[in-house]
Amino acid sequence: MTIDRLLRPSTITEPCTWTERAFGQNDPREWLEDVEGKACLQWVKGWNHRATSALGRPTDSVVYERILHILDSKEKIPYVGRVLNGLYYNFWQDENHVKGIWRRCTLDEYRKESPDWESVLDLDALSATEGITWVWAGSTVLDEGEDVPAELVLLKLSRGGSDACHVREFSLTTKQFITEEEKAFIVGEAKTQMMYKDRDTLLIGTDTGEGSLTDSGYPRQVREWKRGTKLLEAPVVFEGRKDDVIVYAMHYRDRKVWHTGYRRMITFWTSEHLTKMPDGAFQTVPVPEDAKLDTFADQLLIELRSDWELSGVTHKAGSLLAVPLLAFMRGERAMTPLFVPTSTSSLDGKADSFNYLILEVLDDVRCELRFWRYSASDSTSSSASGGDAPGSWMLERTFKGDGIATLSVRASDANLSDEIWITSSSYIEPTSYAIASASAPDEKQVLKSLPAFFNADGFQVKQHFATSADGTAVPYFLVCKAGLALDGSTPTLLYGYGGFEISLTPSYIATTGVGWLEKGGAYVQANIRGGGEYGPRWHQ
């Protein structure tokens, strides 16, 4: 199918009108809200028939087959989800594993072109055995310390893709579910939040009846549930408000420091954070409600969404600050700024290895990685929330990729090593996946990459800026044939998204390349306001 045909006037003539009345009590299209109703499905079928009559059946086209090949390709990158006991875990889906398979292998095996994966859990087989369509929804591993091998994991399985999940305990040693007879932690379908406190204790929020959920339908309470006891008898150890969005507990090891706390998500953008002090008491962390909090060893990391005046110093929205957590809770207000935004730069993400905090920075939507090395103080202990004395931060290096590309980082195991994975992706060059040390990212080794799914010869990527009515420069990327005349004659597919502080950065556009670029079109991705390309101010 050519672009010319796609651009022909449609034979569909019925207008779609929206009026104030359409949203009132007498909405004539209210029956469309019943998305699985007979009348609604028949209406959709009719419009699909009109569309295929005008454009042809997609399944009859060569483009359809090529796009299907891309989506079903076994040459996709098997990204490492986590590393446990020296084994590299991956969750994989293809035409033979539609629901997915959780699998693992050694690093030496992963380096091979076709690794010999060991199956841990096959969701297609499980679904067939139990007669339920199970969808993978995540895992939580029991951490008993650096010298204890990982064994138990809580798996979240969604029935048919529902928001609510079942929780079942699983053994990484036997590759079997723990049974009720073995006193497994098992939770029925609910929007559950849970975390191991120790081998025989969960900190859990779930639907336990009246008063246990917020108005949003998420957990309002945290219970401390002991193995072998009834969930309904577990004591409530923390409770939020009914009009909160969600409440949950945190308990995790960060290098040699254990952190325990609770979070009340008051709105989508605001929260109250509580942390456990050495005396066992929980105290509210005194930061702005719209700040995002994280930790690095004994350090508290504070990412600001609004300006914060502290001890006569104004820290700008979009900044990332570090301070020893216990010292901060006891009144210390001297911050180490790890990132301060400029008029063109913003913090798009972060990752951490054992010794390094790695910042993913955008400067006019161009990506770079900044590697901060942290040296902990001698007083940092293995007790709750670490020590009081400050460690030291040093910006060791900045790493940039080639051309217009997105760089993202993930650590193998931040509690164990400085091994990291660097993903590089651009519009017309296939995504690559490299292993490196955070101490020497320039020496990365590309282990996996996508094939070239479309012919990108002669194409180029350029960045431009459009001037808004209020004078604001709005960036966008243009993908087109080199030397293209910018006279408005080329069919152009324009995509933009502005919401939730999500930044649109370059990524390999395989299906767009096949279905649009190869046929003579141009592609534009616009970084419109509402996203996160220039930090909180761009969203606000």
Alpha-carbon dihedral 87, 89, 94, 97, rounded to 10 degrees: 80
pLDDT of residue 36: 86
Spatial separation of the C-alpha atoms in residues 350 and 150, rounded to whole Å: 25
Spatial separation of the C-alpha atoms in residues 494 and 474, rounded to whole Å: 14
pLDDT of residue 25: 62
Q: What is the DSSP letter of 37?
A: S
pLDDT of residue 7: 35
Instruction: Locate all alpha helices (DSSP H) within 324-474, ordered by sequence.
Output: 325-329
Q: What is the DSSP letter of 178?
A: P
CB 537 within 8 A of CB 344: no
Q: 15 CB contacts (<8 Å, ≥6 apart)?
A: none
Task: Tally helices (H) and strands (E) across the chain.
Answer: 8, 35
Encoded tokens for 163: 């928001």
CB 487 within 8 A of CB 444: no
Walk along the chain (540 residues) in steps of 10 and give the mean pLDDT of each run: 38 40 66 90 94 86 91 92 97 93 98 97 97 96 95 96 94 97 96 97 97 96 98 97 97 96 96 97 97 97 96 94 96 95 94 97 94 81 53 92 90 96 96 97 96 95 94 94 90 90 92 94 93 82
Alpha-carbon dihedral 324, 329, 331, 334, rounded to 10 degrees: 30
Q: What is the DSSP letter of 487?
A: S
Q: 364 CB contacts (<8 Å, ≥6 apart)?
A: 344, 345, 463, 475
